[in-house]
Amino acid sequence: MMRRLLVAVAFLMSAFPAFAVNPDEVLADPALEARARALSAQLRCMVCQNQSIDDSNAELARDLRLLVRERIKSGDSDEAVIDYVVSRYGEFVLLKPRLKPETILLWGAPVILFLGGAVAMAVFVRRRSGQAVGMPLTAEERAALERIVAADAAGKDERQS
């Protein structure tokens, strides 16, 4: 029974996010720490690339978390902190890129792909439905169909008698 309880607790604990922020990085002021955590969640770990610096255990992520906290303690606004990090590492450091002329294709690609898929589906469905329904039979097809129906009718008559 105890074993099942431990497995259940371990399973439930695995659902909670495991943040990589070390206790020595945490700011004393809870409001500043909340700002730092919110900003860290927006920045990509350059080592892991699919994690925010808040979630990553990489040394570079730790350095970036400390940098964000230093900038916040020095009085920078959230936008100023983000701009500073982007100026050093480029737009790629943002998990959610800004809408700019350079990133318009990135933002528009899902819409373009969805519309292209919808058009392709519509064309496919129209072509398939046009082949199956509403096309008149040729003389050869009509004659073959009549022979099949006549043979089927003759077969039914023989089975009934």
pLDDT at 79 over 50: yes
Phi, psi of 133 (to 5 degrees): -130, 140
Report the range of poorest mean pLDDT among 4-13, 99-108, 123-132: 4-13
Of 27-31, 45-49, 81-85, 101-105, where does the model show the most confidence?
81-85
- In the predicted model, what is the mean pLDDT of the chain? 82
Domains recognised in the chain with CATH numbers: 16-98 (1.10.8.640), 105-160 (no CATH)
pTM for this prediction: 0.54
121 falls in which pLDDT band (50, 70, 90)? very high
Q: Which long-range contacts (CB under 8 A, 24 or more apart) does 151-160 make?
A: none
Burial level of 45, CB count in 10 A (0-12/13-18/19+)? Answer: buried
Phi, psi of 20 (to 5 degrees): -95, 5
Which residues pair with residue 134 across a beta bridge? none
Would you state the pLDDT for residue 90?
A: 85
CB count within 10 Å of CB 80 equals 13
Per-residue model confidence as pLDDT tens digits over 67-76: 999 999 898 8
Dist. CA 34–CA 30, nearest whole Å: 6
Would you state the pLDDT for residue 117?
A: 95
Torsion, Cα 5 7 9 10, to 10 degrees, reads 160
Would you state the pLDDT for residue 16?
A: 47
Spatial CA neighbour of 19 closest among 72, 63, 61: 61
